[in-house]
Amino acid sequence: MDSKDHEVKTQTVFRTLGSCEIGIPNPCGFIIFGASGDLTRRKIIPSFYRLQKNRLLPERFFILGTSRTEMGADQFREKMLSAVKEAFPGDFDEACWKEFAPLLHYSPIRYDFQESYGKSLRENLIQLEKKYQTGGNRTFYLALPPSLYEPVILNLGAINLSQEGRAHTHVVIEKPFGRDLDSARRLNQVLKHSFKETEIFRIDHYLALETVQNILMFRFANSIFEPLWNRRYIDHVQITVSETLGIEQRAGYYEEAGILRDMFQNHMFQLLALTAMEPPAVFAADPVRDEKVKVFRSIRPFPLDRFNECVAIGQYGKGKINQQPVPGYREEAGVSEKTTIPTFAAMKVLIDNWRWNGIPFYLRSGKRLSRRKTEISIHFRPVPHLMFSNTLNEPIEPNTLVLRVHPDEGMDLILQTKNSGSRVCLNPISMNFSYQKDVLMDAYEWVLLNCLSDDQLLFVREDGVEQTWALLTPVIEKLESLTSAEKFPNYASGSSGPEEADLLIKRDGREWRPL
Protein backbone atom coordinates (compact mmCIF):
# COMPACT_ATOMS: atom_id res chain seq x y z
CA MET A 1 0.00 0.00 0.00
CA ASP A 2 1.33 3.45 -0.95
CA SER A 3 2.57 5.31 2.13
CA LYS A 4 1.06 8.52 0.74
CA ASP A 5 -2.35 6.95 1.17
CA HIS A 6 -1.58 6.78 4.89
CA GLU A 7 -0.35 10.32 5.32
CA VAL A 8 -2.36 11.90 8.12
CA LYS A 9 -2.14 15.44 9.40
CA THR A 10 -2.01 15.51 13.19
CA GLN A 11 -2.73 19.20 13.69
CA THR A 12 -5.80 19.50 15.91
CA VAL A 13 -8.85 21.15 14.35
CA PHE A 14 -11.48 22.65 16.64
CA ARG A 15 -15.21 23.02 16.11
CA THR A 16 -17.40 25.38 18.14
CA LEU A 17 -20.43 23.72 19.72
CA GLY A 18 -22.53 26.04 21.85
CA SER A 19 -19.96 28.14 23.68
CA CYS A 20 -17.27 25.42 23.69
CA GLU A 21 -14.44 24.54 21.34
CA ILE A 22 -14.20 20.79 20.78
CA GLY A 23 -11.26 19.11 19.04
CA ILE A 24 -11.95 17.07 15.91
CA PRO A 25 -10.28 13.62 15.99
CA ASN A 26 -7.71 12.52 13.42
CA PRO A 27 -8.85 10.36 10.48
CA CYS A 28 -9.88 6.90 11.63
CA GLY A 29 -11.73 3.71 10.80
CA PHE A 30 -14.23 2.51 13.43
CA ILE A 31 -14.94 -1.23 13.49
CA ILE A 32 -17.96 -2.44 15.49
CA PHE A 33 -18.07 -6.09 16.58
CA GLY A 34 -21.71 -6.89 17.32
CA ALA A 35 -23.05 -4.45 14.72
CA SER A 36 -26.40 -6.26 14.48
CA GLY A 37 -26.95 -6.04 18.24
CA ASP A 38 -29.04 -3.86 20.51
CA LEU A 39 -26.20 -1.64 21.76
CA THR A 40 -25.22 -0.67 18.21
CA ARG A 41 -28.82 0.22 17.37
CA ARG A 42 -29.68 2.09 20.56
CA LYS A 43 -26.43 3.90 21.35
CA ILE A 44 -23.46 3.65 19.01
CA ILE A 45 -24.90 4.53 15.60
CA PRO A 46 -27.32 7.21 16.91
CA SER A 47 -24.38 8.79 18.76
CA PHE A 48 -22.23 8.84 15.63
CA TYR A 49 -25.14 10.31 13.66
CA ARG A 50 -25.35 13.18 16.18
CA LEU A 51 -21.59 13.71 16.05
CA GLN A 52 -21.86 13.93 12.27
CA LYS A 53 -24.76 16.37 12.57
CA ASN A 54 -22.65 18.59 14.84
CA ARG A 55 -19.66 18.30 12.47
CA LEU A 56 -17.49 16.66 15.13
CA LEU A 57 -16.31 13.67 13.08
CA PRO A 58 -13.12 13.81 11.01
CA GLU A 59 -13.54 14.31 7.26
CA ARG A 60 -11.75 11.02 6.57
CA PHE A 61 -13.74 8.52 8.60
CA PHE A 62 -15.73 5.32 8.11
CA ILE A 63 -17.63 2.78 10.19
CA LEU A 64 -17.31 -0.94 9.43
CA GLY A 65 -19.95 -3.03 11.15
CA THR A 66 -19.37 -6.72 11.62
CA SER A 67 -21.33 -9.55 13.23
CA ARG A 68 -22.44 -13.14 12.62
CA THR A 69 -25.56 -11.95 10.79
CA GLU A 70 -25.33 -12.32 7.00
CA MET A 71 -26.33 -9.08 5.27
CA GLY A 72 -24.97 -6.49 2.86
CA ALA A 73 -23.98 -2.87 3.42
CA ASP A 74 -27.30 -1.52 2.06
CA GLN A 75 -29.31 -3.72 4.41
CA PHE A 76 -27.12 -2.62 7.32
CA ARG A 77 -27.71 1.04 6.41
CA GLU A 78 -31.47 0.46 6.31
CA LYS A 79 -31.40 -1.09 9.78
CA MET A 80 -29.33 1.80 11.12
CA LEU A 81 -31.65 4.35 9.48
CA SER A 82 -34.53 2.79 11.37
CA ALA A 83 -32.46 2.92 14.59
CA VAL A 84 -31.62 6.62 14.16
CA LYS A 85 -35.23 7.55 13.40
CA GLU A 86 -36.31 5.65 16.50
CA ALA A 87 -33.68 7.42 18.62
CA PHE A 88 -34.57 10.91 17.35
CA PRO A 89 -38.24 10.76 16.32
CA GLY A 90 -38.69 14.52 16.33
CA ASP A 91 -35.21 15.56 15.30
CA PHE A 92 -34.29 13.43 12.30
CA ASP A 93 -32.36 15.33 9.61
CA GLU A 94 -32.65 13.75 6.15
CA ALA A 95 -29.76 15.82 4.75
CA CYS A 96 -27.48 14.75 7.60
CA TRP A 97 -28.40 11.10 7.07
CA LYS A 98 -27.53 11.32 3.36
CA GLU A 99 -24.04 12.49 4.39
CA PHE A 100 -23.73 9.90 7.15
CA ALA A 101 -25.09 6.75 5.45
CA PRO A 102 -22.21 6.35 2.93
CA LEU A 103 -19.79 6.11 5.87
CA LEU A 104 -21.51 2.87 7.01
CA HIS A 105 -20.18 -0.46 5.73
CA TYR A 106 -20.69 -4.07 6.74
CA SER A 107 -18.81 -7.37 6.71
CA PRO A 108 -20.09 -10.63 8.30
CA ILE A 109 -17.71 -12.57 10.53
CA ARG A 110 -17.44 -15.69 12.69
CA TYR A 111 -16.01 -14.53 16.00
CA ASP A 112 -14.27 -17.80 16.89
CA PHE A 113 -12.96 -18.57 13.37
CA GLN A 114 -9.55 -17.00 12.73
CA GLU A 115 -9.72 -17.33 8.94
CA SER A 116 -12.83 -15.14 8.95
CA TYR A 117 -10.75 -12.24 10.29
CA GLY A 118 -8.14 -12.51 7.59
CA LYS A 119 -10.30 -13.24 4.57
CA SER A 120 -13.32 -11.05 5.26
CA LEU A 121 -12.47 -8.40 7.82
CA ARG A 122 -8.90 -7.52 6.85
CA GLU A 123 -9.62 -7.33 3.12
CA ASN A 124 -12.57 -4.99 3.61
CA LEU A 125 -10.71 -2.95 6.19
CA ILE A 126 -7.67 -2.37 3.96
CA GLN A 127 -9.88 -1.35 1.03
CA LEU A 128 -11.80 1.14 3.19
CA GLU A 129 -8.62 2.58 4.69
CA LYS A 130 -7.28 3.20 1.21
CA LYS A 131 -10.56 4.71 0.02
CA TYR A 132 -10.94 7.06 3.01
CA GLN A 133 -7.20 7.65 3.53
CA THR A 134 -7.44 7.19 7.29
CA GLY A 135 -3.74 6.44 7.75
CA GLY A 136 -4.42 3.00 9.17
CA ASN A 137 -5.83 4.45 12.41
CA ARG A 138 -8.26 1.88 13.80
CA THR A 139 -10.71 1.67 16.68
CA PHE A 140 -12.25 -1.73 17.45
CA TYR A 141 -15.45 -1.52 19.53
CA LEU A 142 -16.57 -4.75 21.23
CA ALA A 143 -20.35 -4.33 21.49
CA LEU A 144 -20.57 -8.00 22.44
CA PRO A 145 -21.51 -10.32 25.30
CA PRO A 146 -18.52 -10.69 27.67
CA SER A 147 -18.11 -14.36 26.69
CA LEU A 148 -16.98 -13.22 23.23
CA TYR A 149 -14.38 -10.66 24.33
CA GLU A 150 -11.54 -13.16 24.60
CA PRO A 151 -11.87 -14.92 21.21
CA VAL A 152 -12.23 -11.59 19.37
CA ILE A 153 -9.21 -10.03 21.09
CA LEU A 154 -7.06 -13.14 20.54
CA ASN A 155 -7.99 -13.35 16.86
CA LEU A 156 -7.29 -9.66 16.30
CA GLY A 157 -3.84 -10.20 17.74
CA ALA A 158 -3.22 -13.51 16.00
CA ILE A 159 -3.54 -12.04 12.50
CA ASN A 160 -1.87 -8.76 13.55
CA LEU A 161 -4.92 -6.52 12.96
CA SER A 162 -4.14 -4.83 16.26
CA GLN A 163 -0.64 -3.75 15.19
CA GLU A 164 -0.13 -3.59 11.45
CA GLY A 165 0.73 -0.38 9.57
CA ARG A 166 -1.07 2.28 11.57
CA ALA A 167 -0.59 5.43 13.61
CA HIS A 168 -2.79 4.10 16.40
CA THR A 169 -5.13 1.24 17.22
CA HIS A 170 -7.70 1.36 20.01
CA VAL A 171 -9.92 -1.34 21.46
CA VAL A 172 -13.08 -0.33 23.33
CA ILE A 173 -14.62 -2.76 25.81
CA GLU A 174 -18.06 -2.48 27.40
CA LYS A 175 -18.84 -3.49 30.96
CA PRO A 176 -18.88 -5.85 32.71
CA PHE A 177 -15.11 -6.22 32.64
CA GLY A 178 -14.90 -9.67 34.17
CA ARG A 179 -17.20 -11.09 36.84
CA ASP A 180 -14.64 -11.31 39.67
CA LEU A 181 -11.00 -10.54 40.35
CA ASP A 182 -9.59 -13.64 38.63
CA SER A 183 -11.60 -13.19 35.41
CA ALA A 184 -10.75 -9.46 35.27
CA ARG A 185 -7.05 -10.27 35.61
CA ARG A 186 -7.31 -12.90 32.89
CA LEU A 187 -9.04 -10.48 30.51
CA ASN A 188 -6.37 -7.85 31.19
CA GLN A 189 -3.67 -10.39 30.38
CA VAL A 190 -5.42 -11.37 27.14
CA LEU A 191 -5.66 -7.70 26.14
CA LYS A 192 -2.00 -7.07 26.83
CA HIS A 193 -1.00 -9.77 24.32
CA SER A 194 -2.44 -7.66 21.50
CA PHE A 195 -2.75 -4.08 22.81
CA LYS A 196 -0.85 -1.65 25.01
CA GLU A 197 -2.58 -0.16 28.04
CA THR A 198 -2.62 3.22 26.28
CA GLU A 199 -4.68 1.58 23.50
CA ILE A 200 -7.30 -0.02 25.78
CA PHE A 201 -10.49 1.93 26.47
CA ARG A 202 -12.68 0.32 29.16
CA ILE A 203 -15.99 2.16 28.97
CA ASP A 204 -17.98 3.41 31.92
CA HIS A 205 -20.42 5.83 30.29
CA TYR A 206 -21.37 7.30 33.69
CA LEU A 207 -18.00 9.07 33.64
CA ALA A 208 -19.15 11.02 30.57
CA LEU A 209 -22.36 12.38 32.10
CA GLU A 210 -22.16 16.16 32.31
CA THR A 211 -22.47 16.40 36.11
CA VAL A 212 -19.90 13.62 36.63
CA GLN A 213 -17.43 15.44 34.39
CA ASN A 214 -18.13 18.58 36.40
CA ILE A 215 -17.34 17.07 39.82
CA LEU A 216 -13.62 17.71 39.57
CA MET A 217 -14.13 21.20 38.11
CA PHE A 218 -16.59 22.06 40.84
CA ARG A 219 -14.32 20.80 43.59
CA PHE A 220 -10.95 22.07 42.46
CA ALA A 221 -11.82 25.28 40.60
CA ASN A 222 -13.80 26.84 43.46
CA SER A 223 -11.82 27.93 46.49
CA ILE A 224 -14.91 28.03 48.74
CA PHE A 225 -15.50 24.26 48.52
CA GLU A 226 -12.15 22.47 48.50
CA PRO A 227 -11.18 23.68 52.04
CA LEU A 228 -14.46 22.17 53.32
CA TRP A 229 -14.16 18.88 51.42
CA ASN A 230 -12.85 16.73 54.30
CA ARG A 231 -13.63 15.01 57.59
CA ARG A 232 -13.66 18.29 59.58
CA TYR A 233 -16.69 19.71 57.79
CA ILE A 234 -18.46 16.76 56.13
CA ASP A 235 -20.56 14.36 58.19
CA HIS A 236 -21.18 11.75 55.49
CA VAL A 237 -21.74 11.24 51.75
CA GLN A 238 -24.59 9.42 49.99
CA ILE A 239 -24.45 8.08 46.43
CA THR A 240 -27.73 6.84 44.96
CA VAL A 241 -28.49 5.22 41.61
CA SER A 242 -32.15 4.18 41.53
CA GLU A 243 -34.13 2.84 38.59
CA THR A 244 -37.84 2.31 38.02
CA LEU A 245 -37.15 -0.27 35.31
CA GLY A 246 -36.78 -3.97 35.92
CA ILE A 247 -34.36 -6.20 34.03
CA GLU A 248 -36.00 -5.53 30.61
CA GLN A 249 -35.45 -8.84 28.77
CA ARG A 250 -31.91 -9.11 30.16
CA ALA A 251 -32.53 -12.10 32.42
CA GLY A 252 -29.65 -14.11 30.94
CA TYR A 253 -27.17 -11.36 31.77
CA TYR A 254 -28.68 -10.32 35.09
CA GLU A 255 -28.91 -13.84 36.51
CA GLU A 256 -25.14 -14.04 36.02
CA ALA A 257 -24.35 -10.52 37.24
CA GLY A 258 -26.72 -9.11 39.86
CA ILE A 259 -26.61 -5.55 41.15
CA LEU A 260 -23.12 -5.66 42.69
CA ARG A 261 -21.40 -6.75 39.48
CA ASP A 262 -23.67 -4.67 37.27
CA MET A 263 -23.50 -1.35 39.15
CA PHE A 264 -21.11 -1.25 42.09
CA GLN A 265 -17.85 -2.51 40.57
CA ASN A 266 -17.98 0.22 37.94
CA HIS A 267 -20.53 3.05 38.17
CA MET A 268 -20.86 3.35 41.94
CA PHE A 269 -17.17 3.04 42.76
CA GLN A 270 -16.25 5.50 39.99
CA LEU A 271 -18.64 8.10 41.43
CA LEU A 272 -17.17 7.41 44.87
CA ALA A 273 -13.61 7.90 43.59
CA LEU A 274 -14.38 11.21 41.88
CA THR A 275 -16.03 12.50 45.06
CA ALA A 276 -13.24 11.37 47.38
CA MET A 277 -10.01 11.70 45.37
CA GLU A 278 -7.18 14.14 46.00
CA PRO A 279 -6.43 16.90 43.47
CA PRO A 280 -4.21 15.63 40.63
CA ALA A 281 -1.12 17.62 39.69
CA VAL A 282 -2.58 18.25 36.22
CA PHE A 283 -5.98 17.62 34.67
CA ALA A 284 -4.99 14.74 32.39
CA ALA A 285 -5.93 11.09 32.06
CA ASP A 286 -3.19 9.31 34.01
CA PRO A 287 -2.83 11.83 36.90
CA VAL A 288 -6.62 11.73 37.44
CA ARG A 289 -6.71 7.93 37.26
CA ASP A 290 -3.72 7.71 39.62
CA GLU A 291 -5.72 9.57 42.28
CA LYS A 292 -8.81 7.41 41.76
CA VAL A 293 -6.77 4.25 42.27
CA LYS A 294 -5.36 5.72 45.50
CA VAL A 295 -8.94 6.01 46.77
CA PHE A 296 -9.68 2.36 45.92
CA ARG A 297 -6.52 1.27 47.73
CA SER A 298 -7.58 3.26 50.80
CA ILE A 299 -11.04 1.68 51.10
CA ARG A 300 -11.26 -0.44 54.24
CA PRO A 301 -11.96 -4.13 53.46
CA PHE A 302 -15.52 -5.11 54.31
CA PRO A 303 -15.85 -7.12 57.56
CA LEU A 304 -17.14 -10.45 56.25
CA ASP A 305 -18.09 -11.64 59.74
CA ARG A 306 -20.31 -8.55 60.35
CA PHE A 307 -22.09 -8.15 57.05
CA ASN A 308 -25.17 -6.39 58.42
CA GLU A 309 -22.97 -3.47 59.50
CA CYS A 310 -21.83 -2.67 55.96
CA VAL A 311 -23.95 -4.44 53.31
CA ALA A 312 -27.67 -4.87 52.69
CA ILE A 313 -29.18 -6.57 49.65
CA GLY A 314 -32.65 -7.02 48.23
CA GLN A 315 -34.75 -8.41 45.42
CA TYR A 316 -37.90 -6.76 44.13
CA GLY A 317 -41.30 -8.37 44.34
CA LYS A 318 -44.62 -7.38 42.81
CA GLY A 319 -45.77 -3.80 43.05
CA LYS A 320 -46.73 -0.71 41.08
CA ILE A 321 -44.65 1.70 39.01
CA ASN A 322 -46.50 4.86 37.91
CA GLN A 323 -49.72 3.27 39.16
CA GLN A 324 -49.24 0.28 36.85
CA PRO A 325 -48.78 -3.24 38.28
CA VAL A 326 -45.42 -4.86 37.53
CA PRO A 327 -44.16 -8.39 38.20
CA GLY A 328 -41.57 -9.37 40.77
CA TYR A 329 -38.06 -10.34 39.71
CA ARG A 330 -38.77 -14.07 40.02
CA GLU A 331 -41.75 -13.67 37.68
CA GLU A 332 -39.66 -12.13 34.90
CA ALA A 333 -39.11 -14.29 31.81
CA GLY A 334 -35.95 -16.37 32.09
CA VAL A 335 -35.53 -15.93 35.88
CA SER A 336 -35.41 -18.88 38.27
CA GLU A 337 -38.27 -19.18 40.79
CA LYS A 338 -35.75 -19.57 43.61
CA THR A 339 -33.05 -17.19 42.44
CA THR A 340 -30.97 -15.40 45.08
CA ILE A 341 -29.60 -12.76 42.70
CA PRO A 342 -29.92 -9.31 44.34
CA THR A 343 -31.55 -6.46 42.42
CA PHE A 344 -30.76 -3.94 45.18
CA ALA A 345 -27.71 -3.30 47.34
CA ALA A 346 -26.64 -0.72 49.89
CA MET A 347 -23.12 -0.42 51.27
CA LYS A 348 -21.32 1.55 53.93
CA VAL A 349 -17.79 2.35 52.73
CA LEU A 350 -14.99 3.73 54.88
CA ILE A 351 -11.87 5.31 53.40
CA ASP A 352 -8.79 5.06 55.58
CA ASN A 353 -6.82 8.14 54.59
CA TRP A 354 -6.08 11.58 56.01
CA ARG A 355 -8.96 13.38 54.31
CA TRP A 356 -11.79 10.93 55.00
CA ASN A 357 -10.87 8.94 58.12
CA GLY A 358 -14.07 8.08 59.98
CA ILE A 359 -16.45 9.57 57.38
CA PRO A 360 -18.88 7.00 55.93
CA PHE A 361 -19.87 6.88 52.27
CA TYR A 362 -23.30 5.26 51.88
CA LEU A 363 -23.94 3.72 48.45
CA ARG A 364 -27.26 2.32 47.23
CA SER A 365 -28.56 1.16 43.89
CA GLY A 366 -31.58 -0.86 42.87
CA LYS A 367 -34.16 -1.70 40.25
CA ARG A 368 -37.93 -1.18 40.39
CA LEU A 369 -37.65 1.63 42.92
CA SER A 370 -40.10 4.51 43.27
CA ARG A 371 -38.09 7.01 41.24
CA ARG A 372 -35.35 7.10 38.63
CA LYS A 373 -32.50 9.11 40.06
CA THR A 374 -28.71 9.26 40.20
CA GLU A 375 -27.22 11.73 42.67
CA ILE A 376 -24.32 12.37 45.03
CA SER A 377 -25.22 14.24 48.20
CA ILE A 378 -22.58 15.79 50.46
CA HIS A 379 -23.98 16.17 54.00
CA PHE A 380 -22.07 18.77 56.01
CA ARG A 381 -21.74 18.68 59.77
CA PRO A 382 -24.30 20.60 61.82
CA VAL A 383 -23.38 24.03 63.17
CA PRO A 384 -21.04 23.70 66.19
CA HIS A 385 -23.18 25.82 68.53
CA LEU A 386 -26.94 26.28 68.35
CA MET A 387 -27.46 29.81 69.66
CA PHE A 388 -31.15 29.64 68.68
CA SER A 389 -31.94 26.77 71.06
CA ASN A 390 -34.20 28.92 73.25
CA THR A 391 -36.39 30.01 70.34
CA LEU A 392 -36.40 27.04 67.95
CA ASN A 393 -38.48 23.94 68.64
CA GLU A 394 -36.55 21.63 66.32
CA PRO A 395 -32.93 21.10 65.30
CA ILE A 396 -31.44 22.92 62.33
CA GLU A 397 -30.98 20.72 59.27
CA PRO A 398 -27.31 20.69 58.20
CA ASN A 399 -26.32 22.09 54.81
CA THR A 400 -26.37 19.63 51.93
CA LEU A 401 -24.78 19.83 48.49
CA VAL A 402 -26.56 17.61 45.95
CA LEU A 403 -24.92 16.78 42.62
CA ARG A 404 -27.75 15.58 40.36
CA VAL A 405 -26.12 13.21 37.90
CA HIS A 406 -29.16 11.90 36.02
CA PRO A 407 -31.72 12.51 34.58
CA ASP A 408 -32.05 16.16 35.69
CA GLU A 409 -28.35 17.02 35.52
CA GLY A 410 -27.35 19.86 37.81
CA MET A 411 -26.77 20.69 41.46
CA ASP A 412 -28.49 22.05 44.57
CA LEU A 413 -26.97 23.73 47.62
CA ILE A 414 -29.41 23.60 50.53
CA LEU A 415 -28.99 26.47 53.01
CA GLN A 416 -30.87 27.74 56.05
CA THR A 417 -32.38 31.24 55.95
CA LYS A 418 -34.75 33.27 58.12
CA ASN A 419 -38.37 32.92 57.13
CA SER A 420 -39.90 36.21 56.02
CA GLY A 421 -42.18 37.88 58.58
CA SER A 422 -40.91 36.04 61.64
CA ARG A 423 -38.40 36.84 64.37
CA VAL A 424 -36.66 33.47 64.40
CA CYS A 425 -38.03 30.87 62.04
CA LEU A 426 -35.62 29.09 59.73
CA ASN A 427 -36.53 27.94 56.27
CA PRO A 428 -34.33 25.71 54.07
CA ILE A 429 -33.84 27.07 50.55
CA SER A 430 -32.18 25.46 47.57
CA MET A 431 -29.76 27.29 45.29
CA ASN A 432 -30.29 25.42 42.05
CA PHE A 433 -28.34 25.03 38.83
CA SER A 434 -29.48 22.80 35.96
CA TYR A 435 -27.67 21.57 32.85
CA GLN A 436 -30.97 20.64 31.26
CA LYS A 437 -30.78 23.22 28.48
CA ASP A 438 -27.00 23.23 28.22
CA VAL A 439 -26.19 19.54 27.65
CA LEU A 440 -24.77 19.50 24.12
CA MET A 441 -23.71 15.85 23.89
CA ASP A 442 -24.88 12.77 25.72
CA ALA A 443 -22.57 10.36 27.51
CA TYR A 444 -22.04 7.94 24.61
CA GLU A 445 -21.22 10.78 22.23
CA TRP A 446 -18.54 11.99 24.66
CA VAL A 447 -16.94 8.58 25.15
CA LEU A 448 -16.87 7.88 21.41
CA LEU A 449 -15.34 11.27 20.66
CA ASN A 450 -12.75 10.91 23.43
CA CYS A 451 -11.80 7.45 22.23
CA LEU A 452 -11.27 8.69 18.66
CA SER A 453 -9.26 11.59 20.10
CA ASP A 454 -6.94 9.25 22.05
CA ASP A 455 -8.07 10.74 25.39
CA GLN A 456 -8.43 8.14 28.18
CA LEU A 457 -9.69 10.52 30.88
CA LEU A 458 -13.22 9.05 30.81
CA PHE A 459 -12.02 5.44 30.71
CA VAL A 460 -10.96 3.01 33.43
CA ARG A 461 -7.39 1.78 33.78
CA GLU A 462 -6.21 -1.80 34.44
CA ASP A 463 -5.21 -1.22 38.07
CA GLY A 464 -8.49 0.55 38.82
CA VAL A 465 -10.53 -2.38 37.52
CA GLU A 466 -8.55 -4.95 39.48
CA GLN A 467 -8.61 -2.92 42.68
CA THR A 468 -12.41 -2.58 42.70
CA TRP A 469 -12.82 -6.28 41.97
CA ALA A 470 -10.38 -7.07 44.80
CA LEU A 471 -12.68 -5.16 47.17
CA LEU A 472 -15.98 -6.62 45.92
CA THR A 473 -15.13 -10.24 45.06
CA PRO A 474 -14.95 -11.43 48.71
CA VAL A 475 -18.26 -9.67 49.41
CA ILE A 476 -20.00 -11.24 46.41
CA GLU A 477 -18.66 -14.71 47.20
CA LYS A 478 -19.75 -14.46 50.84
CA LEU A 479 -23.23 -13.26 49.89
CA GLU A 480 -23.65 -16.03 47.33
CA SER A 481 -22.74 -18.62 49.96
CA LEU A 482 -25.00 -17.17 52.68
CA THR A 483 -28.14 -15.87 50.97
CA SER A 484 -31.09 -18.27 51.03
CA ALA A 485 -33.97 -18.32 48.56
CA GLU A 486 -36.46 -17.67 51.40
CA LYS A 487 -34.90 -14.25 52.06
CA PHE A 488 -36.29 -12.84 48.80
CA PRO A 489 -38.22 -10.92 47.63
CA ASN A 490 -37.84 -8.37 50.41
CA TYR A 491 -39.07 -5.12 48.85
CA ALA A 492 -42.04 -4.22 46.73
CA SER A 493 -41.65 -2.68 43.29
CA GLY A 494 -42.30 1.05 43.55
CA SER A 495 -40.89 1.30 47.09
CA SER A 496 -37.62 2.83 48.27
CA GLY A 497 -35.97 -0.54 48.83
CA PRO A 498 -35.70 -3.13 51.62
CA GLU A 499 -35.85 -2.35 55.34
CA GLU A 500 -32.32 -3.73 55.73
CA ALA A 501 -31.00 -0.74 53.76
CA ASP A 502 -32.76 1.69 56.10
CA LEU A 503 -31.32 -0.09 59.12
CA LEU A 504 -27.83 0.13 57.63
CA ILE A 505 -27.84 3.93 57.79
CA LYS A 506 -30.21 4.40 60.77
CA ARG A 507 -27.84 2.36 62.89
CA ASP A 508 -25.46 5.33 62.56
CA GLY A 509 -28.14 7.88 63.43
CA ARG A 510 -28.62 9.03 59.82
CA GLU A 511 -31.28 8.73 57.10
CA TRP A 512 -31.29 8.29 53.37
CA ARG A 513 -32.30 11.25 51.26
CA PRO A 514 -35.81 10.56 49.93
CA LEU A 515 -36.05 9.12 46.45
Active site residues: 267
- Contacts of residue 127, defined as CB under 8 A and 6 or more positions apart, other chains included, come to none
Beta strands in 4-72 (DSSP E): 13-17, 20-24, 28-33, 61-66
Phi and psi, residue 427, nearest 5°: -135, 120
How many angstroms separate the CA atoms of 428 and 418, rounded?
9
Torsion of CA 37, 103, 30, 38, to 10 degrees: -10
Give CA separation, 296 vs 229, 265, 388, in Å.
Answer: 18, 11, 42
Give CA separation, 376 vs 108, 166, 215, 373, 402, in Å.
Answer: 44, 42, 10, 10, 6
Burial grade of 313 (CB within 10 A; 0-12, 13-18, 19 or more): buried
Beta bridge partners of 426: 418
User: Nearest Cα to 461, choosing from 198, 150, 282, 191?
Assistant: 198
For Cα atoms 500, 488, 245, give the angle at the middle one, nearest 5 degrees: 85
